[in-house]
Amino acid sequence: MIKGLRAYAAAVMTLHRLGAGDGYTYLTRQTASNDALRGRLGLSEYYAASGNPPGRWLGAGAELLGVDGEVSESQMRHLFGEGLHPDSGEQLGRRLFVFRPTQERVEAKVAELREELGREPDAAAVERIRVGELLRERQAVAGWDCVFTPVKSASVLWGLAGQDVRWEVEEAHREAWENVLATMETEVALTRVGTNGIAQVETRGLTAAAFVHRDSRCGDPNLHTHVVISNKVQGPDGRWRTLDSQALHRAAVTMSERYNTRFEDAMRSRLGVVFEPRTGRDEAGRKRPCGRSRGWPRSWSRRSRPGASRWRETWPGMSSSSGRGPAGNPTRGSYCGCARTRRWTAGR
């Protein structure tokens, strides 16, 4: 039996909206490229240079479209940028609505104010217009990015262990998120038909692209997978429609818990890792592998430490002035800008 490492973060599945238009560049700049600056490198060249595995097509929807294997940049642009067939560029259902760009709306409002005043509006007025238009900004939804992340201790175990154990952890993670995706296809992949979408009907499955990442933006071991689901689904009548996002959101917590359970089961059967409930503030319902002290995995969570430090600095002042502390997760930080390092995977 392998003794696990005490977790600092719970295993989760998070859900993020992907905007149409230039929103697909999020995939090429961050998701597909793992937040790296590729410069002039193409996606396939980046994969070869960085060692990160290329994305791959998944789901019954991908089979309907006839796409499989490695995900190319042009395929992502077609499907997630324009709602088109990944290869042929054929329109899938209704065209994605393209809203007027924010900058154009700001310029039009400033022009109207200039004509009304008979002079150039001051900077404060222009800024008020800009902020107002930013708050009104809308964008068609091209897809949903589901991010599956094991407990931090599992990533540390994966990063420091030998090749055999590392493979077992990866397989446990893969089995868990693939199980969730299969469940989503049968229970969550729904669309709406009729006037104002009055009727909810089943679909023929999801079209997804999966990207496996092995570290955080700070270079710490952080095994996780982005499963990007297209908003285009085919109904039972063969017509392409929009995925019912309400059903997806309602199922998000259940799917996250399903991933947690499947991952724990796989780690237990493959490596004999035993999980136990965690105790302490804000840790109800979470589990960790039995074994090491809590502090060690934190040393592999550099991205969270700047946020936690700032939270501790802010707490006394806010609690004394307003009677409550700052909102949000004290461990959630922003990009720390640390140099990427792969020393923890030397010899991988």
Mean pLDDT of 294-300: 49
DSSP 258: H
- Choose the most confident range, by mean pLDDT, from 10-24, 199-213, 272-286, 327-341: 199-213
Q: Model confidence over 302-322: pLDDT tens digits? A: 545 455 455 455 545 544 454
Which of 245, 336, 329 has the alpha carbon at shortest distance from 19?
Answer: 245
How far is Cα 192 from Cα 208, in angstroms, rounded to an integer? 20
Give one DSSP letter per residue of 138-153, joined into a string. ---EEEEEEEEE--HH
pLDDT confidence of residue 230 = 94
Q: Which amino acid is at 11?
A: A
Token pair 């780690």 in the structure block, residue: 267
Which of 3, 13, 60 has the alpha carbon at shortest distance from 249?
Answer: 13
Output the CA torsion 95→101→107→109 (10° steps): 70
Confidence of residue 50 (pLDDT cuts 50, 70, 90): low
Q: Model confidence over 68-77: pLDDT tens digits? A: 998 888 898 8
Cβ contacts of residue 26 below 8 Å, gap of 6+?
18, 19, 145
Q: Model confidence over 215-255: pLDDT tens digits? A: 766 667 788 898 999 999 999 999 999 999 899 999 999 99
Cα separations in angstroms, 22 against 67, 258, 270, 307: 22, 32, 42, 29
Q: Output 46 or 9, whichever has higher pLDDT.
A: 46
pLDDT confidence of residue 338 = 29
Cβ contacts of residue 234 below 8 Å, gap of 6+?
61, 64, 203, 204, 205, 240, 241
Say if residue 342's pLDDT is above 50.
Answer: no
Q: Output 272 or 281, whichever has higher pLDDT.
A: 272
Which of 168, 154, 171, 243 has the alpha carbon at shortest distance from 212?
Answer: 171
pLDDT confidence of residue 293 = 46
Q: Model confidence over 171-223: pLDDT tens digits? A: 999 999 999 999 999 999 999 988 878 888 999 999 999 988 877 666 677 88
| Percent of the residues in the chain that have a pLDDT greater than 70, as a whole number | 65
Q: Model confidence over 91-119: pLDDT tens digits? A: 999 887 767 777 888 889 999 999 988 99
pLDDT confidence of residue 258 = 95
Count of Cβ atoms closer than 10 Å to residue 328 Cβ: 9
Q: Model confidence over 136-183: pLDDT tens digits? A: 766 788 899 899 999 888 888 888 888 899 999 999 999 999 999 999
pLDDT confidence of residue 232 = 95
pLDDT confidence of residue 33 = 59
Mean pLDDT of 269-293: 63
pLDDT confidence of residue 141 = 86
Say if residue 337's pLDDT is above 80.
Answer: no
Say if residue 85's pLDDT is above 60.
Answer: yes
Confidence of residue 284 (pLDDT cuts 50, 70, 90): very low
Confidence of residue 335 (pLDDT cuts 50, 70, 90): very low
pLDDT confidence of residue 176 = 96
